[in-house]
């Protein structure tokens, strides 16, 4: 064996898994066709969502379904040509979003989200001052245009505070305006989630984690991996024609995981929610101090190193289909009602694909039919939040330790009749 473990995928999940294995004395080869952290880990809104105990359910109210069905929604849209393949997992997604099922999902999901700040804090401290400089511990604003929606969400926030200890405060319009003087109006107020952290350059933070991985002795190989196969007492994979072997292997390839899993006999009901972002100059001397999410329209607006980043909601489409950044244009128009955005910074919108499962929970698991094979995928909107926690749990499972939380709810078998 050349290594103790080969980790396929150098996003935040793969890097964190490598770090936690190296800390346990294992040798690790990290493989990716791209530079570390340049895919889905790079393009998100930059929130470590400690408050995110409720993953995004499939909408079940008629108004929202009509809005999405007629392509009137900014928060979600679909590509009609993709529906035949997407229909089976989306139907199960709808089923799992029923009140009884969803209640169980939240109960299982909350302990995992509870590890988010703890495990990020660990890696930030280990990575040093350059990582620390990227972090804000203020939280973020969930802002509402109508008092009725704000009151509805306040009631839900109180429930999450009572059940899960999630911290928040309510800001009416004058209080929100005092924190964000450049806002133009049109808002009733906001919930200020106080527990989450935000990051002014998510890709840069993942780069800092990758440097920690290298500092601990991890090896990175850039190239296209293929042919992951059991090999005697371990696993072998070909990277640009050269074979590499290890006792254990980890698939942390996000939306590209099926390309490796399906040849091994694992056909999972995975799908993607694509998303886009664009950076904008600030108009005149306007400043956005903290991330603001506009849920009644369906986008986030965040201060980043390159400017104000707008990130879109969910686009249900094939992973590799051509970009259709229609939602971004709608989000930009809505954001300009609230904040004086300047011109676009980027020549083209960035596009990424969030890897999703029908029950809204990731797969953090040993592969049931193969020894030494582990999988960490399917984090949907919370990949950046949960990458370090997933890496910790996978490394613990791979080395025979007791895991920090029970990972049975995240086992792969739940999609295989097990």
In sequence order, which ranges of 275-346 are alpha helices (DSSP H)?
326-338
CA 240 to chain centroid, in Å, comes to 29
Cβ(173)–Cβ(147) below 8 Å: no
Cβ(206)–Cβ(48) below 8 Å: no
DSSP 107-164: HHHHHHHHTHHHHHHHHHHHH-HHHHTTEE-S-EEEEESSHHHHHHHHHHHHHHHHHH
Structural domains for the chain: 1-57+97-135+199-270+359-418 (3.50.50.60)
pLDDT at 373: 98
What is the tens place of the pLDDT at every residue in 56-93? 999 988 888 888 888 878 999 999 999 999 999 999 99
DSSP run (H or E) holding 364: strand 363-366
Nearest to 88 by CA among 268, 232, 256, 302: 268
pLDDT at 233: 86
What is the tally of helices (H) and strands (E) in the chain?
Answer: 12, 22
pLDDT at 403: 98
pLDDT at 319: 95
The pTM assigned to this predicted structure is: 0.96
What is the distance between the alpha carbons of residues 42 and 33, in angstroms, rounded to a whole number?
15
What is the distance between the alpha carbons of residues 293 and 308, in angstroms, rounded to a whole number?
13
For residue 134, how many other CB atoms are within 10 A of its CB? 21
What is the distance between the alpha carbons of residues 57 and 273, in angstroms, rounded to a whole number?
13
- Specify burial of residue 382 (Cβ count, 10 A radius: 0-12, 13-18, 19+): buried
pLDDT at 186: 87
Low-confidence spans in the chain with pLDDT less than 70? 1, 417-418
What is the tens place of the pLDDT at every residue in 390-418? 999 999 999 999 999 999 999 999 998 64
pLDDT at 417: 67
pLDDT at 70: 81
């Amino acid at each position: 064996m050349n290594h103790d473990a080969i980790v396929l995928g150098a996003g935040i999940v793969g890097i964190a898994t490598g770090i936690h294995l190296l800390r346990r004395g294992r040798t690790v080869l990290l493989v990716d066709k791209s530079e570390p952290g340049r895919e889905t880990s790079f393009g998100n809104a930059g929130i470590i969502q400690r408050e995110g105990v409720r993953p995004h359910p499939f909408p079940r109210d008629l108004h929202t379904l009509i809005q999405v069905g007629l392509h009137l929604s900014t928060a979600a849209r679909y590509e009609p040509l993709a529906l035949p393949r997407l229909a089976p997992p989306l139907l199960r997604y709808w089923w799992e979003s029923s009140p009884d099922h969803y209640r169980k999902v939240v109960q299982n999901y909350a302990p995992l989200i509870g590890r988010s700040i703890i495990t990020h804090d660990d890696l930030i401290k280990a990575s040093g001052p350059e990582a620390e400089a990227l972090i804000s511990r203020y939280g973020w604003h969930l802002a509402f245009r109508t008092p009725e929606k704000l009151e509805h969400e306040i009631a839900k926030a109180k429930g999450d505070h009572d059940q899960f200890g999630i911290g928040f405060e309510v800001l009416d319009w004058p209080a929100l305006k005092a924190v964000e003087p450049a806002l133009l109006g049109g808002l009733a107020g906001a919930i200020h989630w106080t527990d989450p952290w935000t990051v002014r350059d998510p890709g840069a933070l993942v780069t800092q984690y990758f440097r920690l991985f290298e500092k601990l002795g991890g090896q990175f190989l850039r190239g296209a991996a293929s042919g992951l196969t059991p090999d005697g007492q371990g696993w072998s994979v070909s990277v640009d024609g050269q074979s590499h072997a290890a006792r254990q292997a980890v698939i942390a390839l996000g939306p590209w995981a099926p390309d490796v899993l399906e040849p091994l006999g694992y056909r999972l009901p995975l799908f993607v929610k694509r998303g886009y972002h664009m950076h904008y100059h600030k108009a005149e001397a306007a400043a956005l101090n903290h991330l603001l999410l506009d849920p009644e329209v369906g986008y986030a607006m965040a201060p980043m190193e390159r400017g104000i980043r707008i990130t879109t909601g969910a686009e249900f489409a094939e992973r590799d289909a051509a970009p259709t950044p229609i939602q971004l244009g709608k989000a930009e128009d809505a954001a300009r009602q609230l904040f004086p955005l300047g011109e676009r910074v980027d020549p083209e919108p960035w596009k990424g694909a969030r890897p999703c499962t029908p029950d809204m929970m990731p797969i953090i698991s040993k592969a049931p039919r193969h020894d030494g094979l582990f999988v960490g995928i399917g984090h949907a909107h919370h990949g950046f939040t949960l990458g370090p926690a997933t890496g910790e749990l996978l490394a613990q499972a791979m080395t025979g330790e007791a895991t920090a939380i029970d990972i049975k709810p995240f086992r792969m078998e739940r999609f295989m009749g097990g």
